[in-house]
């Protein structure tokens, strides 16, 4: 596994020698639910702009959401900023050491605490993301797919497998193997260094229908529509978008109010209108405000407007 990782590890910017623990923490938060190839350019921009927690803590939520751009699940951006504030104010601008101290930070869960402990502080830790869980389950337990979340028993079992020497390469290598070779749907067993030890391969790769992950759809979901509303707010951060334009059925839109908007905002509003009913948009606007991702303001005539949080 160590040899395989040395030969096949992707050249990701946070793997460069000298990357700070803060840089590792940012990469782990960004990489949850977003492919690393999409994360890499955004991570580089963030670290150039906000190289320490105190730098990010001084940024406004709007700046952070704009820089997060299209990585998805933008609440992660706000939580990362809260984490930065806590590290800057309570830990002297230094990422704390130890999983318990890391888990005490806002937005840092079991996975991120273990990953930072292993990859940044290079201390033994049981890193369990979905890729590692899939590989371990196939090799050592003959299971096709992991359950949605690890149980305490699975954590104890996985911890017993982490080697005393080479634990960082073990975690990083398993994670990379799961991302590149032992994928959920099309594992490339012919290219796998663990094939000779893999229970699931030996058993003929039986699929457990109860564990097969469901196909995630994107089109038509609330996530897609939330993303479109956020895109309208990001299109020109100086423009506050009239809520009436977002929640009025397309046929009833005021053309003058629409064309008064800058072109990118007008296009983004029309996309929102094309994706969902006025009722759905109104519900999701309320949810975005409740999540702290948007805020309502009043225009000159008292009309309700929406913008990124300041
Ligand atoms: S042999 Fe196939 S199933 Fe087993 S770990 Fe390798 S890629 Fe995954």
Instruction: Tell me the per-residue pLDDT of 225-254, one tens digit each, with 9 for 90 and over.
Output: 999 999 999 999 999 999 999 998 888 888
- Within 8 A by CB and 6+ apart from 270, the residues are 250, 258
Whether residues 107 and 13 share a domain: the answer is yes
Highest mean pLDDT pick, 85-99, 206-220, 295-309: 85-99
Is residue 207 domain-resident? no
pLDDT at 212: 77
Is residue 209 domain-resident? no
What is the C-alpha to C-alpha distance for residues 120 and 113, in angstroms, rounded to an integer? 10
pLDDT at 13: 96
- Residue 306 phi/psi, 5° resolution? -130, 140
Mean pLDDT of the 202-207 span = 95
The yes-or-no verdict on residue 219 having pLDDT over 90 is no
Q: Which residues are catalytic?
A: 28
Whether residues 188 and 273 share a domain: the answer is no
Is residue 208 domain-resident? no
61 is written with which tokens?
């939520």
The yes-or-no verdict on residue 214 having pLDDT over 80 is no
Is residue 20 domain-resident? yes
**Residue 306 parent element (H or E):** strand 304-307
Is residue 215 domain-resident? no
Q: What is the CATH number of the domain that holds 303?
A: 1.10.10
Tell me the torsion sign for CA atoms 60, 282, 29, 160.
Answer: positive
pLDDT in tens, 68-94: 988 999 999 999 999 999 999 999 999
Domain that holds residue 250: 222-307
pLDDT at 1: 78
Whether residues 250 and 187 share a domain: the answer is no
Whether residues 176 and 257 share a domain: the answer is no
pLDDT at 199: 97
The yes-or-no verdict on residue 12 having pLDDT over 90 is yes
What is the C-alpha to C-alpha distance for residues 267 and 60, in angstroms, rounded to an integer? 26
Q: How many domains does the chain have?
A: 3
Whether residues 33 and 103 share a domain: the answer is yes
Whether residues 241 and 272 share a domain: the answer is yes
Q: What is the CATH number of the domain that holds 159?
A: 1.10.1670.10
What is the C-alpha to C-alpha distance for residues 94 and 142, in angstroms, rounded to an integer? 41
Interval between CA 136 and ligand 1 midpoint (Å): 9
Residue with tokens 């390469």: 169
Which ranges of the chain would DSSP assign to H, the alpha helix? 2-8, 21-31, 36-49, 53-57, 61-68, 75-90, 99-103, 110-119, 130-141, 152-161, 167-180, 199-202, 222-234, 243-246, 255-259, 263-275, 278-290
Average pLDDT, the chain: 93
With a 6 Å cutoff on the Cβ, whether 189 touches ligand 1 is yes
Domain boundary among 70, 86, 119: 119
With a 6 Å cutoff on the Cβ, whether 182 touches ligand 1 is yes
With a 6 Å cutoff on the Cβ, whether 247 touches ligand 1 is no
Residue with tokens 């949080």: 309
Is residue 212 domain-resident? no
Q: How confident is the model at residue 262 (pLDDT cuts 50, 70, 90)?
A: very high
Residue among 140, 197, 200 to mutate when testing ligand 1 (max atoms within 8 A of CB) = 200
Domain boundary among 119, 150, 177: 119
pLDDT in tens, 279-301: 999 999 999 999 999 999 998 88
Whether residues 137 and 114 share a domain: the answer is no
Is residue 141 domain-resident? yes
What is the C-alpha to C-alpha distance for residues 8 and 233, in angstroms, rounded to an integer? 40
DSSP state for residue 301 in the 8-state scheme = T
Q: What is the CATH number of the domain that holds 31?
A: 1.10.340.30
pLDDT at 142: 95
Whether residues 300 and 259 share a domain: the answer is yes
Whether residues 164 and 257 share a domain: the answer is no
Whether residues 6 and 115 share a domain: the answer is yes
pLDDT at 169: 93
pLDDT at 220: 86
- Within 8 A by CB and 6+ apart from 252, the residues are none
pLDDT in tens, 94-139: 999 999 999 999 989 999 999 999 999 999 999 999 999 999 999 9
Whether residues 259 and 151 share a domain: the answer is no
Whether residues 17 and 96 share a domain: the answer is yes
Are residues 119 and 168 in contact, defined by beta-carbon separation less than 8 angstroms?
yes
Interval between CA 191 and ligand 1 midpoint (Å): 9
pLDDT over 70 for what percent of the chain?
Answer: 99
pLDDT at 213: 75
* Ligand 1 nearest-atom number relative to CA 193: 6
Environment class of 157 (CB within 10 Å of its CB; exposed 0-12, middle 13-18, buried 19+): middle
Mean pLDDT of the 149-159 span = 92
pLDDT at 250: 81
Q: How confident is the model at residue 47 (pLDDT cuts 50, 70, 90)?
A: very high
What is the C-alpha to C-alpha distance for residues 25 and 40, in angstroms, rounded to an integer? 13
Are residues 5 and 172 in contact, defined by beta-carbon separation less than 8 angstroms?
yes
Global confidence as pTM: 0.90
Tell me the torsion sign for CA atoms 210, 112, 83, 229.
Answer: negative
Domain boundary among 141, 168, 202: 202
55 is written with which tokens?
């730098």
Residue with tokens 């309502």: 296
pLDDT at 242: 94
With a 6 Å cutoff on the Cβ, whether 180 touches ligand 1 is no
Is residue 125 domain-resident? no
Q: How confident is the model at residue 39 (pLDDT cuts 50, 70, 90)?
A: very high
């Amino acid at each position: 596994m160590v040899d395989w990782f040395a030969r096949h590890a992707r050249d990701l910017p946070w793997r460069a020698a000298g990357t700070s623990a803060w840089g590792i923490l940012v990469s782990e938060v960004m990489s949850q639910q977003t492919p690393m190839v999409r994360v890499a350019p955004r991570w580089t921009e963030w670290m150039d702009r906000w190289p320490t927690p105190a730098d990010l803590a001084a940024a406004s939520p709007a700046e952070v959401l704009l820089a997060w751009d299209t990585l998805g699940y933008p609440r992660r951006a706000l939580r990362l900023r809260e984490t930065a504030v806590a590290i800057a104010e309570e830990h002297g601008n230094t990422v704390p050491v130890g999983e318990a101290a890391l888990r005490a930070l806002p937005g840092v869960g079991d996975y991120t605490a273990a990953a930072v402990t292993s990859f940044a502080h290079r201390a033994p830790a049981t890193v369990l993301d979905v890729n590692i869980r899939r590989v371990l389950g196939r090799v050592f337990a003959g299971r096709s797919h992991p359950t949605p979340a690890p149980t305490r028993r699975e954590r104890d079992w996985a911890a017993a497998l982490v080697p005393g020497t080479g634990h960082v390469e073990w975690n990083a290598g398993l994670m990379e193997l799961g991302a590149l070779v032992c994928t959920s749907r099309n594992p490339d067993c012919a290219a796998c260094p663990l094939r000779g030890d893999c229970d699931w391969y030996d058993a003929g790769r039986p699929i457990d229908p109860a564990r097969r992950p469901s196909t995630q759809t994107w089109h038509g979901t609330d996530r897609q529509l939330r993303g479109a509303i956020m895109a309208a707010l990001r299109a020109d951060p100086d423009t506050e978008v009239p809520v009436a334009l977002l929640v009025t059925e397309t046929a009833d839109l005021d053309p003058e109010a629409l064309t008064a908007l800058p072109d990118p905002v007008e296009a983004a509003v029309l996309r929102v209108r094309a994706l969902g009913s006025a009722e759905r948009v109104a519900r999701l606007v309320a949810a975005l405000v409740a999540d702290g991702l948007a805020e309502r303001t009043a225009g000159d005539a008292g009309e309700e407007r929406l913008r990124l949080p300041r």
